[in-house]
Amino acid sequence: MENVIECPFCGRELDKDKVIKRKYVCYECGYYFRVRTNNRIKMVADRGSFEQWFEDLVESNPLSFEGYEEKLEATREKTGLTEAVTVGKCRIYGEEAVIGVCDSRFLMGSMGHVVGERITAAVERATELRLPVFIFCCSGGARMQEGIISLMQMAKTTAAIKRHSDAGLFYCTILTDPTTGGVTASFATVGDVIMAEPGALIGFAGPRVIKQTIGQDLPEGFQRAEFQVEKGFADGIVKREDLRKTIYYLIVANRPKEGVFRVRRQSEEDKRFMYTEILKELTWKSRSLTAWEKVKAVRQAIRPSAKDYMDYIFDFFVEAKGDRAYGDDQAIMGGIAMLNGQPITVIADMKGNTIEECQKRNFGMPLPEGYRKALRLMKQAEKFGRPIVSFVNTAGAYCGIEAEERGQGEAIARNLLEMSALKVPVLCIVIGEGGSGGALATAVGNEVWMMENATYSILSPEGFASILWKDASAAPKASEVMNITSQDLKRLGVVEKIIPEFGGANPNTVEAIGEYMRDEIVKFLDACEGKDWESFAEDRYNRFRKY
Give the interface with Zn ion as residue ranges (CB under 5 A).
Answer: 7, 9-10, 26, 28-29, 31
Length of the chain: 547
Minimum CB–partner distance for residue 26 and Zn ion (Å)? 3
- Please identify, using beta-carbon distances, which residue of 168 and 199 lies nearer to Zn ion: 199
- Please identify, using beta-carbon distances, which residue of 22 and 497 lies nearer to Zn ion: 22
Distances (CA, A) of 114 to 38, 62, 111, 429: 19, 11, 8, 51
- Please identify, using beta-carbon distances, which residue of 11 and 67 lies nearer to Zn ion: 11
Q: Is the dihedral of CA 64, 65, 70, 75 positive or negative?
A: negative
Q: Which helix (H) or strand (E) holds 194?
A: strand 193-196
**What is the rounded CA–CA span in Å between residue 385 and residue 286?**
23
Are 10 and 28 in contact by the 8 Å Cβ rule? The answer is: yes
Are 99 and 52 in contact by the 8 Å Cβ rule? The answer is: no
- Please identify, using beta-carbon distances, which residue of 17 and 268 lies nearer to Zn ion: 17
Minimum CB–partner distance for residue 104 and Zn ion (Å)? 19
Minimum CB–partner distance for residue 6 and Zn ion (Å)? 9
Minimum CB–partner distance for residue 13 and Zn ion (Å)? 10
- Please identify, using beta-carbon distances, which residue of 26 and 107 lies nearer to Zn ion: 26
Minimum CB–partner distance for residue 221 and Zn ion (Å)? 17
**What is the rounded CA–CA span in Å between residue 370 and residue 351?**
13
Q: Which of 305, 405, 400, 398 is nearest to 353 (CA)?
A: 305
**What is the rounded CA–CA span in Å between residue 127 and residue 119?**
12
Number of C-beta neighbours around residue 251 at 10 A: 20
Q: Where are the beta strands (DSSP E) in 77-146?
A: 85-92, 95-102, 133-139
Helix (H, G, I), strand (E, B), or coil: what is residue 434?
Answer: strand
- Please identify, using beta-carbon distances, which residue of 26 and 172 lies nearer to Zn ion: 26
Minimum CB–partner distance for residue 7 and Zn ion (Å)? 3
Are 34 and 21 in contact by the 8 Å Cβ rule? The answer is: no
Minimum CB–partner distance for residue 245 and Zn ion (Å)? 25
- Please identify, using beta-carbon distances, which residue of 19 and 465 lies nearer to Zn ion: 19
- Please identify, using beta-carbon distances, which residue of 7 and 133 lies nearer to Zn ion: 7
Minimum CB–partner distance for residue 14 and Zn ion (Å)? 7
Q: Is 130 left (phi over 0), alpha (psi -120 to 50) or beta?
A: left
- Please identify, using beta-carbon distances, which residue of 9 and 363 lies nearer to Zn ion: 9
- Please identify, using beta-carbon distances, which residue of 7 and 44 lies nearer to Zn ion: 7
* Radius of gyration of the chain measured on its C-alpha atoms: 25
Torsion angle in degrees (nearest 10) through CA of 105, 107, 110, 112: -130
Torsions phi, psi of 307, nearest 5?
A: -60, -35
Minimum CB–partner distance for residue 27 and Zn ion (Å)? 8
Q: Which residues contact 121 (CB under 8 A, 6 or more apart)?
A: 53, 54, 57, 87
